[in-house]
Amino acid sequence: MSNVALGIDIGGSGIKAAYVDVASGALVTERVRLPTPRPSTPRAVVETVGEVCELVRASAPELTPVARGAAFPAVVRGGVTLSAANVDRAWIGYAAEERLSEALGNSVCVLNDADAAGLAELGFGAVRGVSGVALVLTIGTGVGSALFADGTLAPNTELGHLAFRAHASVEDWVSDRARRAEGLSWKRWTGRLNAYLDHLSVLFSPELIVLGGGVSKRFEDKIAPRLRLRTPVRAAALRNDAGIVGAAWHASRVVRL
Ligand code: BGC
């Protein structure tokens, strides 16, 4: 039976998808990307997801995915999106799984984007084989989190929305968007990151913290040398494809191969 699943990553700026070999975590087609519609209303986004998936299908008509998963930047419970920090507010309370399944003509499994990235790290990257508590953070426009205990995910942790120091939501202070918007040097921004990670270390005593998202490209040269933490910190292994791979892998495990 086929090991191929469709992975979709819905972000604030782009919607990406590819077929994934869920045994290895490798993409088996080129990644297709279209810009996220503005405003990012559910109807417009669902339509663009349909277009992206059609392009993937057309690029490999000989492949039939056994499952379909979509990562979305919000709290997702029972297939319903329950928050909207960086997307249109109409997503709050939207039956995303039902609507996407209708649009694609097949059942789609929807999960939080950081949870998807974390699952990709668990299956194929930096969290593989890690026992105890591991924390995966995606740092980009927002800050997402995936918390694992002995390889089991506690979904929707939203640690980017912790109140910290004077900030109602720490992502406004420590995201990559904040770094760019405030023109912070890597030194100053990493100082903020260090304070945030230190706080998370006190709260969760993780064995490992994994950093993903846009900033992970600069982990080795700009970030790692400046971190002063007792908890080991590593860069995510899957980088750009983490959402796609995690969504596909998750869906393939929900819908049995
Ligand atoms: C959202 C999370 C998401 C993160 C990264 C946050 O603003 O609340 O659900 O995982 O951004 O996209």
248 part of a folded domain: no
Place of tokens 């912790």: 162
Identify whether residues 102 and 143 lie together within a single domain.
Answer: no
Identify whether residues 20 and 53 lie together within a single domain.
Answer: yes
163 part of a folded domain: yes
pTM of the model: 0.97
- Among 80, 112, 144, the domain boundary falls at 112
Identify whether residues 87 and 26 lie together within a single domain.
Answer: yes
Into how many domains does the chain fold?
Answer: 2
117 part of a folded domain: no
Distances (CA, A) of 90 to 80, 82, 101, 140: 12, 10, 18, 22
User: Ligand 1: which atom is nearest the Cα of residue 138?
Assistant: 5
Identify whether residues 49 and 140 lie together within a single domain.
Answer: no
Identify whether residues 58 and 131 lie together within a single domain.
Answer: no
Is 256 buried (19+), middle (13-18) or exposed (0-12) by CB count in 10 A? exposed
246 part of a folded domain: no
247 part of a folded domain: no
Identify whether residues 231 and 133 lie together within a single domain.
Answer: yes
pLDDT value for 197 = 98
189 part of a folded domain: yes
pLDDT value for 240 = 84
Alpha carbons 162 and 195: distance in angstroms, whole number: 13
Beta bridge partners of 109: 69
Alpha carbons 204 and 191: distance in angstroms, whole number: 20
Q: CB count, 10 Å around CB of 239? A: 15
Cα–ligand 1 centroid distance for 139 (angstroms): 9
Cα–ligand 1 centroid distance for 256 (angstroms): 28
pLDDT value for 257 = 42
Identify whether residues 96 and 60 lie together within a single domain.
Answer: yes
**How high is the mean pLDDT in each 10-residue block of the chain (257 residues)?**
92 96 97 97 98 98 97 97 95 98 96 98 97 97 97 97 97 97 98 98 98 95 96 94 97 75
Choose the residue to mutate in 15, 77, 113, 170 for probing ligand 1, maximizing ligand atoms within 8 Å of C-beta: 113
249 part of a folded domain: no
Q: Which two tokens stand for residue 176?
A: 């990559």
Q: Assign residue 59 the CATH number of its domain.
A: 3.30.420.40
Identify whether residues 95 and 195 lie together within a single domain.
Answer: no
Q: Is the CB of 97 under 6 A from ligand 1?
A: no
| Structural domain harbouring 71 | 4-112
Beta bridge partners of 146: 136
Alpha carbons 180 and 164: distance in angstroms, whole number: 20
pLDDT value for 120 = 98
Alpha carbons 45 and 99: distance in angstroms, whole number: 11
Identify whether residues 81 and 160 lie together within a single domain.
Answer: no
Identify whether residues 108 and 133 lie together within a single domain.
Answer: no
Instruction: Give the rounded distance of the alpha carbon of 217 from its chain centre.
Output: 16
- Among 112, 146, 169, the domain boundary falls at 112
- Structural contact between residues 236 and 242, judged by C-beta atoms closer than 8 angstroms: yes
Q: At what angle are helices 113-124 and 242-254 packed, to 10 degrees?
A: 80
9 part of a folded domain: yes
Identify whether residues 90 and 190 lie together within a single domain.
Answer: no
Alpha carbons 122 and 66: distance in angstroms, whole number: 21
Identify whether residues 16 and 105 lie together within a single domain.
Answer: yes
Cα–ligand 1 centroid distance for 254 (angstroms): 23
pLDDT value for 255 = 61
